[in-house]
Amino acid sequence: MIEAVVFDLDGVLIETEEIWDEVRESFIREHGGRYDAEAQRAMMGMSSVEWSAFIHEELGVRDAPEAISEEVVRRMLERYRERLPLLPGAVEAVRRLGERWPLAVASSSNRPLIDAVLGLAGLAGDFRATVSSEEVPRGKPAPDVYVEAARRLTVAATACAAIEDSQSGIRSAEAARMVVIAIPNPSYPPDEAALAAAAAVARSLDELTPKLVERAASS
């Protein structure tokens, strides 16, 4: 039986994978680094500690990882304050599920970005717990961020449903032994093997209902 629901943030509630790509590419090129599609794919799901180290060590940016992370986050916050890219139906989906279960966020985004998004969207009070992967040892696809979200909710991970869009996110929630509901990101779709790990697949947030969560848990 499901006792709580844990949402990913980027790609599930906000359409930001493209913004992350643009901001990091611009920063890396400005600082003399290398950037291509392979680098973009490699960083998807990484925590800020991981991707800033990757930019420094693998992509040729000389700045310290801490400085890289700080500047990229500053630019992301600027973009969010200009226009928050909430996905259609995000607020409604959160409220629908929140009427039934306690909610959490388990995100690869930095803590300031999570707090800014939920504040700007008017959703800060809808989540009982929020976790950034920078607060746990490993980013997605490791299960750490989902395990920590369940711990903060005081619910067993196996009694949680996870809402995910990406390959690394699905694998992370699966490794935490949560019931996974996938809403595939059309720009960066998960492969068939990852989708097969999901208990249910929805086409949009409009399909994310308590009934779908219950059906996924019983499958």
Amino acid, single-letter form, for residue 202: A
- CA distance to 90, 148, 163, 170, 180, per residue, from 13 (Å): 5, 20, 10, 15, 16
Q: Do domains 4-15+85-218 and 17-82 have the same CATH topology?
A: no
Edge to edge, the sheet with strand 4-7 lists 129-132, 103-107, 4-7, 160-164, 179-182, 200-201
CATH class held by domain 17-82? mainly alpha
Residues 122 and 12: their CA atoms lie apart, in Å, by 16
Residues 214 and 219: their CA atoms lie apart, in Å, by 9
Length, in residues, of the chain = 219
Fold (CATH) for 4-15+85-218: Rossmann fold (3.40.50)
Each residue's pLDDT expressed in tens, for the chain with a length of 219 residues:
999 999 999 999 999 988 999 999 999 999 999 999 889 888 887 888 999 999 999 999 999 999 999 999 999 999 999 999 999 999 999 999 999 999 999 999 999 999 999 999 999 999 999 999 999 999 999 999 999 999 999 999 999 999 999 999 999 999 999 999 999 988 888 999 999 999 999 999 999 999 999 999 998
Domain borders along the chain are 4-15+85-218, 17-82
